[in-house]
Structure 1
């Protein structure tokens, strides 16, 4: 009988040493899963910020090309399109002329639809430059700015 007792005791001690191993494996698996989940969430948040920044650039490009098209449609009044816009929403108001309406629409689009949007339109003869800037704080942190510069020549009617 003593030999049977020794075998039983040896088996008992062997299982006792292994009792916590499965719990440790589960905890390690949970830790790996948690770190992976957190990484996926951070990646998704960064993708959303970059997507918003790309949308702002696309919108600024659309606004600038819209004004250039309006200027091409009215080349005789080209010099009247020169302007400087500071930050702060300028609501669109009906203009008395085509140029005034175009300027008001541009002012509204830049200052109200872009975050902290501002712009400068320079006209020197047929050469036109449109510079649009806006806040990029969502992506790059406080004080970050992004900008778009378009420059082209607009010819008058033959």
Structure 2
């Protein structure tokens, strides 16, 4: 969508608001979705924060590292929705606890490569069953058809926003 289209869309919203149209935040889809995402995130956080003393950011980095032998720090952010500073703090926290280690990329010393330590791998294997059980419990509130529809809708919206 071009800049002029965006500007026209914003102008239309302003005009509608001035015409007495109101926005009910509790029914506004973006807000409801953000709120649901936060509720789900907090429910899952009980698994890794209370039992394993990890922050949300550390858990996300741990989950990414658990799926691969190593990864460049700059690749973590887009995979976790964390910004550069959050990734850096999470990696530092994991490293301080002996869960992850960093090394310089052999071809570019400015680039840091992160991987799980053996203790980090063991922790990952320990947490995953709890995280999956929490997901199963949450999705258990839906029928199989509802889960499939939810998955399709999430993919469709994500693709539209990409």
Range into which the TM-score falls when normalised by the shorter chain: under 0.3
Larger radius of gyration: 1
- Tell me which protein shows more strand as a share of its residues: 1
